């Protein structure tokens, strides 16, 4: 008889690993049935309580025997097998036992049954049904061979085959988490290090993992453990029959580090994309929007979701459309990169100047353009400035008054055509000196008063006579000396000589021109600062109005209320404080917007927070909102600007008051103000309201500039507050609660790293 090696190996492996008895019985029977002499093999285990042999595994059961099943017994057969070790099926069929009747009804008569215990401590028999004409004498040798194999297998440590053939470093742990056996892969990983250091390979909490693995009868996967610069990922597999655990690991250093770097890069890219003022977008080769960054709202008035699926060409100015599409398509096909400046329509209907840099993404094998990534920025101000410069240059060139540019050393560097005409200097002649153009008295006055006056006031004027080169008569002029600073910071001067005969006309034209420039400058300044300043000043102004109204009410009760005068004085004091605070906010806010130096210092976070609570206490009391102070007195100092930090906290508190007022109109409500140390290098403060809360979509957009849920809001408060906190090196975040919303502000501690936080 020959057994298939693969089948036999599978049975031995299952036997050594102590899998359920049914699986082992099936594996043994399949190995025997591969022999051509064997028609059928069945394993039955002895059931001492019932006194019968019972089928194990998926083998087809024999039909029931004759008689009452409740009286069935195989005790006779069990005792005979203990004495003889094996019996022919003909002998079994003659016995008075339940299995004999089952064999007779199944018409099984040729073969043997042999005593064989697959499960230590539990007797059983192996029934081998042979084909007709096959001699069964050799089955005795099979029984002895199987018994020998079972004896050797049962004496081995269970799980050893797994260890021996496992390509991953593995070891067996007992119920207390102590190593019992190592495989070759783990020994190779340990190299020259002693086996006692295997515990250093394991996760620091491996004993608890072993207990959990055995108690819950489940495998625990993906447990990370560092060791000597490596990162190992462990899996714990329970072996309940031995009360042990097989621990397998793999070296995932490269994978984990790559995933961490990728996650860091994704966070960085997301931070850049979500906070950059440039519009980053993806397009099909035909120009259809695939995606866009949140800057699309601030630049074009469209949210990214609205742009997806829309053709970019539909937003272009009609005069730019034809040339842009052809030039961009050709450049991307040939060079893979293209930069263009064009006009694009805002959602409100007006046009902006955009500068867009496009890069083609090509298919790896064909090289065809499959996608276009673009970075766009609003260059309207730059284009307008360049246009203004061009127009001003054209004005200077066309000006009928002589215009001279002079460097700080007093050398003439430029003459406009009118100056060359008046002075009689052509293009080939060198630049004259000031001494050649002015009389000594006029030159002395210019050098004595002109330069200093222009430096001090920006402009200096005087009457003088301009002397043409050669023999021409001098011309009476009114000089205007202007001081300028170039983009590089260098000083230079322009000298405009106006003909006295046209003085009144030129002055009138100059005044109109200056008025236009001043008006334009005021509009630009208003556009840049009005929204931010109006929003930031609104809070102290509202407090001033509240205090003034209260003071007026107390003034009306001076005769009947002895405390009215003190209340009025207190209100006036608070009005003065709020007005001063508003002035400081404007000054600091402008400095912040210019990215200038701020007055950062070590601050007591709790003190600043309590000051903010005091400033909004009036408004909170008006709407029956109680602010619960849960601020500890031992918080470490933070490094920030006091006024700006106070303004952020005021904004958070007032938003919470508005939320409570909306959710509980005319009813008492509360706001919880708490703080604590967030780790070793930061302090956190939380403002939790009892308002209506926000949805997930609103939570993602609430820090976006100009987004607001208030009917009269500007949508700048939270955006500017986050910018201020991030300018201090901190974070401002919102978290949904079962009731209301929690705003969390995190700031770094004052310490040696404060220079980096600036």
Q: Band of the pLDDT at 142, cuts 50, 70, 90?
A: confident
Q: What is the pLDDT of residues 65-83, one digit of tens each?
A: 878 888 899 999 999 999 9
Pick from 305-314, 520-529, 674-683: least confident:
520-529
Q: Band of the pLDDT at 673, cuts 50, 70, 90?
A: very high
| Cα–Cα distance measured from residue 165 to residue 173, given in angstroms and rounded to the nearest whole number | 17
Q: What share of the chain is helix, strand, coil (3-state, %, to 5)?
A: 45, 25, 30
| Cα–Cα distance measured from residue 159 to residue 14, given in angstroms and rounded to the nearest whole number | 10
DSSP helix/strand/coil, 747: strand
Q: What is the pLDDT of residues 359-375, one digit of tens each?
A: 999 988 888 899 999 99
Q: What are phi and psi of 34, to 5 degrees?
A: -70, -20
> 575-579, 595-599, 676-680: which has the highest mean pLDDT?
575-579
Tell me the average pLDDT across 470-483: 79
Give 562: exposed, middle or buried? Use CB within 10 Å, 0-12, 13-18, 19+: exposed
Tell me how crowded residue 82 is: count the other CB atoms within 10 A of its CB: 10
Give 661: exposed, middle or buried? Use CB within 10 Å, 0-12, 13-18, 19+: buried
Q: Is 597-757 a domain of CATH 2.30.30.100? A: no
Query: What per-residue confidence (pLDDT) applies to 219?
Result: 93
Q: Band of the pLDDT at 289, cuts 50, 70, 90?
A: very high
Ramachandran bin of 168, using left for φ above 0, alpha for ψ from -120 to 50, beta for the remaining angles = beta
| Cα–Cα distance measured from residue 279 to residue 267, given in angstroms and rounded to the nearest whole number | 18
Closest CA to 675 of 602, 620, 601, 607: 607
Tell me the average pLDDT across 223-241: 89
Sheet with 731-736: list strands edge to edge: 625-630, 669-677, 682-688, 741-748, 731-736
Structure tokens at 405: 């540019």
Query: What per-residue confidence (pLDDT) applies to 308?
Result: 92
Q: What is the pLDDT of residues 386-426, one digit of tens each?
A: 888 888 878 888 887 888 888 877 888 888 888 888 888 88
The superfamily (CATH) of domain 276-378 is: PAS domain (3.30.450.20)
Q: Band of the pLDDT at 6, cuts 50, 70, 90?
A: very low
Tell me the average pLDDT across 261-289: 86
Say yes or no: do domains 5-155 and 276-378 share a fold.
yes
Tell me the average pLDDT across 121-143: 89
Tokens 């050709």 belong to: 330
Q: Which fold has domain 160-257?
A: Beta-Lactamase (3.30.450)
Query: What per-residue confidence (pLDDT) applies to 284?
Result: 93
Q: Is the pLDDT of residue 528 over 50?
A: no
Query: What per-residue confidence (pLDDT) applies to 723?
Result: 78
Contact residues for 348 (Cβ-Cβ < 8 A; gap 6+): 301
Tokens 């009747």 belong to: 101
Pairing of strands 170-173, 52-55: unpaired
Q: Is the pLDDT of residue 348 over 90?
A: yes
Query: What per-residue confidence (pLDDT) applies to 574?
Result: 85
Query: What per-residue confidence (pLDDT) applies to 758?
Result: 40
Calculate the CA 602 to chain-centre distance: 30
Domain ranges of the chain: 5-155, 160-257, 276-378, 405-508, 597-757
Mean pLDDT of the chain: 81
Query: What per-residue confidence (pLDDT) applies to 216?
Result: 92
> 107-116, 566-575, 696-705: which has the highest mean pLDDT?
107-116
| Cα–Cα distance measured from residue 55 to residue 58, given in angstroms and rounded to the nearest whole number | 8
Pick from 78-87, 154-163, 300-309, 484-493: least confident:
154-163
Q: What is the pLDDT of residues 557-576, one digit of tens each?
A: 888 888 888 888 888 888 88
Tell me how crowded residue 478 is: count the other CB atoms within 10 A of its CB: 18
| Cα–Cα distance measured from residue 704 to residue 520, given in angstroms and rounded to the nearest whole number | 29
Q: Band of the pLDDT at 124, cuts 50, 70, 90?
A: very high
Q: Is the pLDDT of residue 126 over 50?
A: yes
Q: Is 405-508 a domain of CATH 3.40.47.10? A: no
Q: Is the pLDDT of residue 7 over 70?
A: no
Q: Is the pLDDT of residue 269 over 50?
A: yes
Query: What per-residue confidence (pLDDT) applies to 130?
Result: 92
CATH number of 5-155: 3.30.450.40
Closest CA to 585 of 602, 598, 575, 604: 598
Contact residues for 214 (Cβ-Cβ < 8 A; gap 6+): 175, 238, 240, 243, 245
Tell me the average pLDDT across 32-44: 89
């Amino acid at each position: 008889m020959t057994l298939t090696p693969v089948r036999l190996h599978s049975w031995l492996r299952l036997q050594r690993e102590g899998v359920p008895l049914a699986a082992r019985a099936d594996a043994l029977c399949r190995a025997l049935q591969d022999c051509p002499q064997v028609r059928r093999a069945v394993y039955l285990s002895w059931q001492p309580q019932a006194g019968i042999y019972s089928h194990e595994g998926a083998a087809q059961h024999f039909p029931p025997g004759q008689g009452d099943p409740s009286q069935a017994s195989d005790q006779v057969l069990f005792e005979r097998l203990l004495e003889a070790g094996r019996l022919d099926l003909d002998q079994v069929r003659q016995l008075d036992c339940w299995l004999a009747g089952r064999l007779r009804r199944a018409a099984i008569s040729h073969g043997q049954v042999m005593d064989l215990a697959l499960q230590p401590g539990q007797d059983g028999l192996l029934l081998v049904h042979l084909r007709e004409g096959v001699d069964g004498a050799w089955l005795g040798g099979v029984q002895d061979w199987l018994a020998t194999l079972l004896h050797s297998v049962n004496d081995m440590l269970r799980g050893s085959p797994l260890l021996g053939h496992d390509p991953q470093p593995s070891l067996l742990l007992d119920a207390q988490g102590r190593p019992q056996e190592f495989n070759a892969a783990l020994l190779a990983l340990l190299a020259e290090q002693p086996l006692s250091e295997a515990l250093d390979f394991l996760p620091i909490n491996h004993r608890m993992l072993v207990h959990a693995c055995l108690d819950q009868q489940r495998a625990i996967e993906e447990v990370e453990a560092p060791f000597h610069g490596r990162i190992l990922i462990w899996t714990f597999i329970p072996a309940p029959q031995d009360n042990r655990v097989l621990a397998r690991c793999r070296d995932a250093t490269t994978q984990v580090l790559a995933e961490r770097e990728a996650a860091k890069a994704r966070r960085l890219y997301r931070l850049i994309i979500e906070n950059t003022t440039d519009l980053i977008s993806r397009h099909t080769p035909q120009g259809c929007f695939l995606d866009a960054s949140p800057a699309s709202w601030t630049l074009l008035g469209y949210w990214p979701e609205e742009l997806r699926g829309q053709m970019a060409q539909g937003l272009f100015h009609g005069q730019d459309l034809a040339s842009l599409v052809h030039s961009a398509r050709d450049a991307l096909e040939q060079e893979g990169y293209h930069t263009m400046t064009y006009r694009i329509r805002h959602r409100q209907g007006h046009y902006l100047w955009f500068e867009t840099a496009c890069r083609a993404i090509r298919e790896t094998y064909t090289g065809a353009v499959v996608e276009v990534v673009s970075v766009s920025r609003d260059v309207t101000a730059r284009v307008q400035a360049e246009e203004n410069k061009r127009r001003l240059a054209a004005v200077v060139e066309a000006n009928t008054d002589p215009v001279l540019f002079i460097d700080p050393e007093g050398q003439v560097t430029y003459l406009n055509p009118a100056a060359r005409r008046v002075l009689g200097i052509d293009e080939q002649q060198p630049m004259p000196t000031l001494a050649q153009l002015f009389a000594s008295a006029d030159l002395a006055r210019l050098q004595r008063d002109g330069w200093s006056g222009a430096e001090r006031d920006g402009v200096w004027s005087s009457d003088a006579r301009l002397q043409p080169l050669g023999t021409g008569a001098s011309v009476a002029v009114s000089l205007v000396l202007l001081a300028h600073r170039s983009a590089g910071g260098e000083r230079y001067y322009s000298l405009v000589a106006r003909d006295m005969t046209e003085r009144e006309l030129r002055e009138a034209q100059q005044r109109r021109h200056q008025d236009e420039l001043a008006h334009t400058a005021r509009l630009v300044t208003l556009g840049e600062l009005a929204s931010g300043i109006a929003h930031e000043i609104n809070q102290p102004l509202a407090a001033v109005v509240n205090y003034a109204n209260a003071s007026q009410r107390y003034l009306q009760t001076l005769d009947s209320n002895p405390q009215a005068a003190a209340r009025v004085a207190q209100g006036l004091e608070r009005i003065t404080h709020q007005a001063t605070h508003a002035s400081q906010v404007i000054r600091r806010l402008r400095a912040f917007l210019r990215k200038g130096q701020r007055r950062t210092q070590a601050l007591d976070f709790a003190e600043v927070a309590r000051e903010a609570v005091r400033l909004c206490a009036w408004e909170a009391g008006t709407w029956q909102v109680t602010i619960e102070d849960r601020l500890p007195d031992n918080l470490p100092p933070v490094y920030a600007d006091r006024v700006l930090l106070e303004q952020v906290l005021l904004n958070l508190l007032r938003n919470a008051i508005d939320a409570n007022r909306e959710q509980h109109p005319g009813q008492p409500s509360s706001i919880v103000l708490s703080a604590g140390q967030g780790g070793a290098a930061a302090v956190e403060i939380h403002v939790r309201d009892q308002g209506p809360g926000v949805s997930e979509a609103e939570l993602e957009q609430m820090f976006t500039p100009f987004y607001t849920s208030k009917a009269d809001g500007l949508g700048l408060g939270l955006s500017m507050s986050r910018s201020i906190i991030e300018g201090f090196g901190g974070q401002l975040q919102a978290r949904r609660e079962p009731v209301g919303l929690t705003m969390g502000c995190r700031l770094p501690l004052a310490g040696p790293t404060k220079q980096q936080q600036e």
